[in-house]
Amino acid sequence: MIRSEILREIAPILRDQLVVCNIGLPSQELHMIDDQPTNFYMLGTMGLASSIGLGLALSQPKTVVVIDGDGSVLTNLGTLPTIANNVADNYILLIVDNGSYGSTGDQPTYAGKKTSLAKVAEACGCENVVECRAEETGEVLQKAIDGRKMTVIVCKCESGNVKVPVITKDPVVIRDRFMQAVAS
Amino acid sequence: MSISKQIVDDFVANDIAFVTTVPCKQLGGVIEEVEARPEIYHIPSNKEDEGMGLCAGAYMGGKRPAIIMQNTAIGVTINTLVTLTQFYRMPLPMLISFRGELMEPVACQAEMAIHTKPLLQQLGIPTYHFHKQDDVRELDAILKYTFMSSKPVAILTDATFWGGY
Ligand SMILES: Cc1ncc(C[n+]2csc(CCOP(=O)(O)OP(=O)(O)O)c2C)c(N)n1
Ligand SMILES: [Mg+2]
């Protein structure tokens, strides 16, 4: 399974949550599959999805699901200790680990080689870390939401992309729509 | 009243409730004060761009954020300031120690000091420079201006302001 197939499968679960979605193809795919006011699309700033989601989870009570990528977590690896030491039980970090920088043409990342992001997260102090196969993502995600415990999910999947249009929505519109959904 | 206490009083009076920090020797007192206030959630970050991500999320969650960092962090955060804070039009007060100015003992700090104001100007970031202790009186107005205009705003605080090293 590739990222877009996973997103299609978990879209019905994501619908009811606040979602912060990673730069590039993940946001474009989610936007195409199921655009919702509860989705915050990152149009730039590689690496900060997990940080934006944590700030959001710590500042209001609704559940926040971050759709992140292995490459983006690697570029902002300092995020994992911050997550571990600032527990928000309404926070779920879903790392779609396709072992590549998918959005830029599937160049391999170290997460697809010797580096285990699940083990890194554990070593950083994250308490609920689940590594799963792509096929299990929906089940694991639903369980994490229902469990109301801060969870890091590392979903191991294949790399590969589908053709998808870029997001042309104005960033201020995305942000304002999202903030209204957060506050409603 | 100590200058650090005055600064954090202004933060609290302006409903700032989420503060991220990366230390600088000069910011020790103000970080201690932030940590001590029950009105503020203090979340140390490992890198300043990460901190700005946290602040963006807090803002969207309904809490007013601020970041406390050293001027060298301008070099770390340009992409984030431009593609996140400015692109999505979010307010962010940045209390910045302005290292490398008069009385600086560490030569390396003078290098980024030279680039600090030109970079901020190039980025179109409103910038205030606190040099004398009295300058702190403007902080309240600067914070109000930041949330009114929904921009990142820099408050540079140099060694003379902090009373030397
Ligand atoms: C600072 C910076 N460097 C490089 C890029 C180019 N870039 C955009 S998305 C991306 C790949 C992200 O990979 P990952 O987080 O694993 O997500 P995937 O696309 O694989 O789902 C890269 C390298 C960028 N946007 N910003
Ligand atoms: Mg990837």
| Strand, coil or helix: A74 | helix
**Residues 111-140, chain A: which have Cβ within 8 Å of B?**
none
A69 pocket-lining for ligand 1 (C-beta < 6 Å): yes
DSSP label at residue B92: E
pLDDT at site B164: 86
Residues B107, B101: Cα–Cα separation, whole Å = 10
CA distance B102 to chain A (A): 33
Give the pLDDT confidence of A81-108 residue by residue, as tens digits: 999 999 999 999 999 999 999 999 999 9
Backbone angles phi, psi at B131, to 5 degrees: -115, -40
The Cα diameter of chain A in Å comes to 44
Question: Is the pLDDT at A50 greater than 90, yes or no?
Answer: yes
Q: Give the pLDDT confidence score for residue B165 in this predicted structure.
A: 79
What counts of helices (H) and strands (E) characterise chain B? 7, 6
**A74 interfaces chain B, CB cutoff of 8 Å:** no
Which of B47, B57, B62 lies at the smallest CB-CB distance from A52?
B57
Dig out the tokens for A55 from the structure: 């700030």
Establish if B154 belongs to a structural domain: yes
User: Does ligand 1 have an atom closer than 6 angstroms to the CB of A25?
Assistant: yes
Residue B86: inside a domain, yes or no?
yes
A24 reaches B (C-beta below 8 A): no
Number of H helices, E strands in chain A: 8, 8
Distance B83 CA to ligand 1 centre (A): 14
The predicted pLDDT at position B1 comes to: 78
Find the B28 Cα to ligand 2 centroid distance in Å: 38
> Is position B42 within any domain?
yes
ipTM of the complex: 0.98
Please give the structure tokens belonging to residue B87. Answer: 């692109």
Nearest-atom index, ligand 1, CA of A70: 16
Task: With cut-offs at 50, 70 and 90, classify the pLDDT of residue A175.
Answer: very high
Q: Quick one: B155 exposed, middle or buried, by C-beta within 10 A (0-12, 13-18, 19+)?
A: buried
Task: Return the structure tokens found at A79.
Answer: 């995020």
Q: Is residue B165 part of a domain?
A: no
Residue B46 has its nearest CB partner, among A40, A58, A78, at A78
What is the full per-residue pLDDT of chain B (165 aa) written as tens digits? Answer: 799 999 999 999 999 999 999 999 999 999 999 999 999 999 999 999 999 999 999 999 999 999 999 999 999 999 999 999 999 999 999 999 999 999 999 999 999 999 999 999 999 999 999 999 999 999 999 999 999 999 999 999 999 999 987
Q: Is residue B84 part of a domain?
A: yes
Residue A115 has pLDDT above 90, yes or no: yes
CATH code: domain of residue B44? 3.40.50.970
Domain for residue B117, yes or no?
yes
Task: Report which DSSP code applies to B102.
Answer: T
Task: Indicate the number of domains in chain B.
Answer: 1
Positive or negative torsion for Cα A37, A42, A48, A50: positive
Q: Is B74 exposed, middle or buried (0-12, 13-18, 19+ CB in 10 A)?
A: buried
Which segments within chain B are labelled E, that is strand?
A: 16-21, 41-44, 64-70, 92-98, 127-130, 152-158
| Domains in chain A: ranges and CATH | 3-183 (3.40.50.970)
Are A55 and B59 an interchain contact pair (Cβ–Cβ within 8 Å)? Answer: yes
Partners of A52 on chain B (C-beta within 8 Å) are 53-54, 56-57, 60, 84
* Sheet hosting strand B92-98, strand order edge to edge: B41-44, B16-21, B64-70, B92-98, B152-158, B127-130
Range of the domain at B86: 3-160
Distance (angstroms) between ligand 2 centre and the Cα of A133 equals 15
On average, the pLDDT of chain A sits at 98
Residue B97 lies inside a defined structural domain of this protein = yes
Taking an 8 Å cut-off on Cβ atoms, the answer to whether A174 and B88 are in contact is: yes
Q: Hey, of B48, B60, B78, B86, which one would you mutate to test binding to chain A, going by the most A CBs within 10 A of its CB?
A: B60
**Which residue pairs, CB below 8 angstroms and at least 24 apart, start in A4-9?**
A4/A29, A4/A33, A4/A161, A4/A162, A4/A164, A5/A134, A6/A96, A6/A134, A6/A137, A6/A155, A6/A157, A7/A33, A7/A67, A8/A33, A9/A137, A9/A138
Q: Is residue B143, in this structure, part of any structural domain at all?
A: yes
